[in-house]
Amino acid sequence: MSFDFNSYFSPVDVAWLDDKYFAPHSNYLASVLDIHRTDFPVLEGKTLAILGVPDSPHFPQSGIHSAPDALRRCLYRLFRTSGDLQAVDLGNLFPGNTPEDTYVALADVCQELQSMSITPVVLGGSRDLLFGQYRAFEKNIHPIELLGIDARFHLGEAPPDEDYALDPRDVLMRIVTHKPSHLFNYTNLGYQTYLNNPDEVLMIGRLLFDAMRLGDLRAAPEEAEPAIRIADLMYVDASCLRLSDMPGQPDSTPSGLFSHELCQLTRYAGLNEKLKSIGFYSYDPARDKQLLGAETLAQAIWYFLEGHAHRSFDVPRKNQMHHIRYVTTLDSGNHTIVFYKSRKTGRWWMEIASPAQPGSNKERGMLIPCSYADYKTASRGEMPDRWWRYHQKHGKVD
């Protein structure tokens, strides 16, 4: 029995768009997307699906529920991306009777799209919807990498059980404690120390999660690219942006990312062939009278679409003719690290010996994304932090 997507979504109201935006060869983004206006779009041959989740059960008095349509107003007035973009807009997900119903519906939709090799682009909605997006991976046989561009960790307090009412401030803790667990790692980009409880900062370290402070991210955004490239699931919280670029977010502060910095990161995300799902959360149009925040996020989404249309699929394979292979030895002499650089894109990977499969005494080599800085560190005989952190998770460092 096929999945009935149509029963989950209401059409997109595009009355605010002039006909010129839908005219053939108009070159506006709206004209190249298959938008659910009357008939439900055909999914065959598509690689991206935009879907709105206008649900904010924890903020009933806010305007967060209208965020998906506000973002569309700005996004669809932009011109088309370069490259071949095969994308649809499914419309807005019908809210459930309870928050849990909404999480389940979002998980079902995302899981079905992912099984069709279609990447969901979720327009929220409050950030607790990330839990529904995460649950789409419950049938995944491999532990997943979660990455958030967020000023805060949202660990909150450990829940007493799975039935507690999920608060958006606790969404990461809900994911960490959810059973069965299928989370391998969480990476935070752009956190601001003074906005996070010191206990949460310590917990990030104890859980062997990764985090990059705002200052470090802004100083070297290219060092965030390998972390983005390994992510299976990613979200962007509007509070990651400074208040001047995101006036529609109650949690924004004078410090944060500039809009062009976020666009660089979301383009990295679009280029990530491994990424299965991405969400944009916490934008409140009711606080954004001139839609400046919506313009900012719409441009970040545009850059994600642009990156997705230009995926290179250059992960090293058995045939290495498209990559340069480098071998380094650490000063201890106990470890040799092999690096690969793509001749096509200049992206780097390093080979990691991962634990043997059950019934075998042979370690397997796997490739993880890295940066040129990691190679330079290893070429000096020093251990790259990225290599060390990975082996810490597996308990394999001598």
Instruction: Render pLDDT for 135-151 as a digit per residue (tens, 0 to 9).
Output: 999 988 788 999 999 99
- CATH number of the structural domain spanning residue 102: 3.40.800.10
Residue range 131-138: mean pLDDT, rounded = 94
Q: What is the pLDDT of residue 170?
A: 85
Residue 356 lies in a domain: yes
Residue 318 forms part of a structural domain:
no
pLDDT of residue 21: 84
Go through 272-296 and write b for each residue having 16 or more CB atoms within 10 A of its CB, e for each that does not: beebbbbbbbbbbbbbbeebebbbb
Amino acid 33: pLDDT: 92
Residue 60: its pLDDT value, please? 55
For the chain, how many structural domains are there in total? 2
Percent of the residues in the chain that have a pLDDT greater than 90, as a whole number? 65
CA–CA separation, 230 and 32 (whole Å): 29
The pLDDT of residue 62 is: 66
Q: How many CA atoms lie within 13 A of 152 on its CB side?
A: 20
Share of the chain above pLDDT 70, in %: 90
Do 268 and 240 have their domain in common? yes
Query: Exposed, middle or buried, 392 (CB in 10 Å: 0-12/13-18/19+)?
Result: exposed
Q: Is the pLDDT of residue 133 over 60?
A: yes
Instruction: Identify the weakest region by mean pLDDT among 146-155, 172-181, 295-304.
Output: 172-181
Average model confidence (pLDDT) across the chain: 89
Question: What's the whole-number mean pLDDT along residues 2-23?
Answer: 89
149-153, 350-354, 392-396 — most confident range: 149-153
pLDDT at residue 394 in the model? 67
Q: If we measure between CA atoms, which residue out of 10, 16, 148 comes closest to residue 70?
A: 16
Question: 296 and 365, same structural domain?
Answer: no
pLDDT value for 156: 75
Band the pLDDT of 39: cuts 50, 70, 90.
very high
Residue 273 tokens read as 């062939």
The residue out of 308, 341, 366 marking a domain boundary is 308
The answer to whether residues 216 and 329 belong to one domain is no
Q: Please tell me whether residues 302 and 371 are part of one structural domain.
A: no
Among 308, 339, 363, give the residue marking a domain's end.
Answer: 308
Asked if residue 317 is part of any domain, the answer here is: no
Query: In terms of domains, do 118 and 236 share one?
Result: yes
| Contact between 96 and 205 (Cβ < 8 Å) | no
Residues 230 and 108 in one domain: yes
Q: Would you place residue 364 in the very low, low, confident or very high pLDDT band (cuts 50, 70, 90)?
A: low
Quote the pLDDT of residue 15.
Answer: 85
Within a domain: 224: yes
Q: The domain containing residue 360 runs over which residues?
A: 323-394
Q: What is the pLDDT of residue 328?
A: 93
Residue 240: closest CA among 155, 308, 300 = 300
* pLDDT band, very low/low/confident/very high, at 167 (cuts 50, 70, 90): confident
Q: Is residue 314 part of a domain?
A: no
Whole-prediction pTM: 0.92
pLDDT in tens, 40-96: 999 999 999 999 998 765 555 568 889 999 999 999 999 999 988 999 999 999 988
**Is residue 315 in a domain?**
no
Residue 234 confidence (pLDDT) above 80: yes
Looking at the fold, whether 328 and 258 belong to one and the same domain comes out as no
Of 279, 236, 228, the residue nearest 256 (C-alpha): 236
For residues 208 and 268, state if they share a domain.
yes
Looking at the structure, do residues 245 and 368 belong to the same domain, yes or no? Answer: no
User: Higher model confidence: residue 57 or residue 116?
Assistant: 116
- My answer on whether 250 and 355 are in the same domain is no
- Greatest mean pLDDT among 11-15, 20-24, 368-372: 368-372
Answer with the one of 308, 340, 372 that is the final residue of a domain: 308
Q: What is the pLDDT of residue 360?
A: 43
Check pLDDT > 50 for residue 199.
yes
Do 300 and 331 share a domain, yes or no? no
Instruction: Say yes or no: 332 and 302 in one domain.
Output: no
Asked whether the beta carbons of 248 and 287 are under 8 A apart, the reply is yes
